[in-house]
Amino acid sequence: MRGCGACALALLTGIMPEKIAAKNGGVHYPDSFMSRFLREHGFRVLRLTQCNLSVAKDYVGTNHVVLLSQLFRRNEATWGVIFRGVYYHNFGVYLLDSLSMLNKPVLSAYVVVDPRWWIGPREKKTVAAAKKSKRLNFMSLRRLSGSGS
């Protein structure tokens, strides 16, 4: 079985979930594997914590891609991706509602950015800046999303 972690990474990277599962070596996909895999494939990853979200001047908005681990059964988590109010899980597509995070509590969340996702003329300077930057931070989120929200 490929697992939800492999499916989430496949959605983001375009790599076949079978290849991702073979690199993981198990059905459990820890945060360290998920973030390392994305970084090895050229993505920038910012872990969202209560502390860094509460002091940020710029917030994560619907135009950001969020990789999310949620508790969906007792002692069992799942990985999914959120973008523009839609939740992608194991190649299924679900609309989020206001109680989605209460019924399946968030264990960890990451904003994921790949400069290749932006191709419009307005974003050329931002893509160059994102490629130069070594780390993803809240200031780069603002530049990459084109707004503060």
How confident is the model over 125-143, as pLDDT tens digits? 555 555 555 555 555 555 5
Domain boundaries, the chain: 3-136
The architecture CATH gives domain 3-136:
Alpha-Beta Complex (3.90)
SS (H, E, C) 11-67: HHHCCCHHHHHHHHCCCCCCHHHHHHHHHHCCCEEEEECHHHHHCCCCCCCCCCEEE
Report the percentage of the chain scoring pLDDT > 90: 43
Rounded CA separation 121/139 (Å): 20
Alpha carbons 47 and 39: distance in angstroms, whole number: 12
Q: What is the pLDDT of residue 76?
A: 87
* pLDDT of amino acid 117: 74
Tell me the per-residue pLDDT of 75-114, one tens digit each, with 9 for 90 and over. Answer: 889 999 999 989 999 888 999 888 888 888 999 999 998 8
Determine if the pTM surpasses 0.75.
Answer: yes
> Bigger pLDDT: 146 or 94?
94
Mean pLDDT of 11-16: 93
The chain-wide mean pLDDT, for the chain, equals 81
pLDDT at 43: 93
